[in-house]
Structure 1
Amino acid sequence: MKLPHNKKVYFASDQHFGAPTPELSFPREKKFVAWLDQIKTDAEAIFLVGDLFDFWFEYQTVVPKGFVRVLGKLAEIRDSGIPIYFFVGNHDLWMHGYFEKELNIPVYHDNQEFNFWGTSFLIGHGDGKGPGDMGYKRMKKVFTHPFSKWLFGWLHPDIGVRLAQYLSVKNKLISGDEDITFLGEDNEWLILYAKKKLETKHYNYLVFGHRHLPMKVTIGQDSHYVNLGDWISYFTYGVFDGQTFEIQKYQ
């Protein structure tokens, strides 16, 4: 993908809309829509890198209630011709065709490679990557198994959504009870994962979400690990102008 003059590629992740309650989430949704309105003037492409929703499940005939302004703005931007790419996170991994059919937005369930103006990117949400966190990795296999999705689909949406919201409130990243600090390159699982990927192929930028901590770390010759932060505490996003990648904060 070549970037026209004065065009940029934008990245954002971990909005967790709907958490901890729809009422408390609503101001963040409005802020995100305002950001989308701002960047659509010079966006060549927009990447949503997982956990846009705190819970998402596509039943046979319904999707979770709410998020009308966010979905409407994404539809408007996509209809204007700006590509949007969506990566599922660990909170909205149960996607199955709705975004593709209704919004014309491709959905990815794992890392994808992109190239902008000769600059190579590896992009993904980041959950279950790197060493450790074996409990989550086992749990993800269960959650993504077709039988598990079929079984959950038989729950009435009121029960399924409430169950998911109850479990999410216990997530310390969402409730704000966890102090997120940089653990150092040798202890950040996604940095270790990114370095491992560089052993087999070179990328200029390896861009992930999930960690909720904005950072850009040089991990090799002209290679950088980027975490996009979140829209709960930081309201940060990534922007690539064809030459440099920066993490910026939306005020």
Structure 2
Amino acid sequence: MATLFIADLHLQTEEPAITAGFLRFLAGEARQADALYILGDLFEAWIGDDDPNPLHQQIASAIKSLVESGVPCYFIHGNRDFLLGKRFARQSGMQLLPEAQVLDLYGRKVLIMHGDTLCTDDAGYQAFRKKVHTPWIQTLFLALPLFIRRRVAAKMRAGSKAANSSKSLEIMDVNPQAVIDVMEMHRVQWLIHGHTHRPAVHELTTNNAPAYRAVLGAWHSEGSMVRVSETGVELLFFPF
């Protein structure tokens, strides 16, 4: 048996192939897992649990079916779906986790997170993140009519795309010292995260010992997952 980790699917109605691939994954590979962890950006955007988008209900039903089959599913918010709330969690059967969580998996202590908080060189993004995670701002936004929230979200996505186009790849990647600091703070030798869309397993040193950082890939043209079992930790890719 194994525990599976995925992130950055960015599900949206405009990308039906990715949705179909995820549904096949939930009905296939995921059914054999001890647990499934979704480390953020499951959806391209999330404007509230009251959004009647049929895609959301389809995904909630599929995850619920996985959970009812005996495979628990856990979710850490990403930078695209940080407003996903308790209502959707109940509908899908997912359990919401804090932005950083330490797991004990087959004798390994593993820290999991979305990964955006590690990109400390991107000062503009970190300032934006701090603002949109302010509770009163979130409450105010969610109180707006849906059509206004859709307009605001579309404008924010366009602004983010424009801003990122002028940033270097290095600025948008994790800061190496931030990675070491968070792993030493949590006293772990393994970190799994997404966000950067740069799948790889990096070797480093933390807590005066060899350590590893596994980065999940985004689901653009193929699926990506990290599989943790008694025998090891693998970064895997598979067709939709």
TM-score by length of 1: 0.83
Out of 1, 4, 10, the position equivalent to 1:10 is 4
Q: How does 1:45-64 map to 2 (within 5 A)?
A: 45-58=35-48, 62-64=50-52
Call closer, same or farther: CA 1:180–1:48 in 2, change over 3 Å: farther
- CA shift, 1:63, in A, is 2.9
Structure 1 contact 235–250 (Cα < 8 Å) conserved: yes
Aligned residue in 1 for 2:77:
88
- CA shift, 1:192, in A, is 3.2
Q: Which amino acid aligns with 1:44?
A: D
- CA shift, 1:162, in A, is 3.5
For residues 202 and 218 of structure 1, the distance between their equivalents in structure 2, rounded to whole angstroms, comes to 16
- CA shift, 1:117, in A, is 1.4
The secondary structure found in structure 2 opposite 1:199 is helix
Q: Deviations over 1:93-113 (max 9, x none)?
A: 112312332233211241000
- Residues 1:225 and 2:225 are matched in the alignment: no
Identity %: 22
Structure 1 contact 206–225 (Cα < 8 Å) conserved: yes
- CA shift, 1:138, in A, is 1.7
Structure 1 contact 240–246 (Cα < 8 Å) conserved: yes
Out of 104, 124, 127, the position equivalent to 2:116 is 127
For residues 249 and 164 of structure 1, the distance between their equivalents in structure 2, rounded to whole angstroms, comes to 31
Q: Which amino acid aligns with 1:17?
A: L
- CA shift, 1:160, in A, is 0.9
Aligned residue in 2 for 1:137:
126
Aligned residue in 1 for 2:235:
247
Aligned residue in 1 for 2:86:
97
Cα RMSD for the two superposed structures: 2.7
- Residues 1:152 and 2:137 are matched in the alignment: no
For residues 190 and 226 of structure 2, the distance between their equivalents in structure 1, rounded to whole angstroms, comes to 11
Structure 2 contact 21–223 (Cα < 8 Å) conserved: no
- State the 4+ residue runs in structure 1 displaced beyond 4 angstroms: 169-173, 177-181
Aligned residue in 2 for 1:238:
226
Unaligned runs of 5+ in 1: 1-6
- CA shift, 1:234, in A, is 4.6
The number of residue pairs the alignment matches comes to 234
Structure 2 contact 41–80 (Cα < 8 Å) conserved: yes
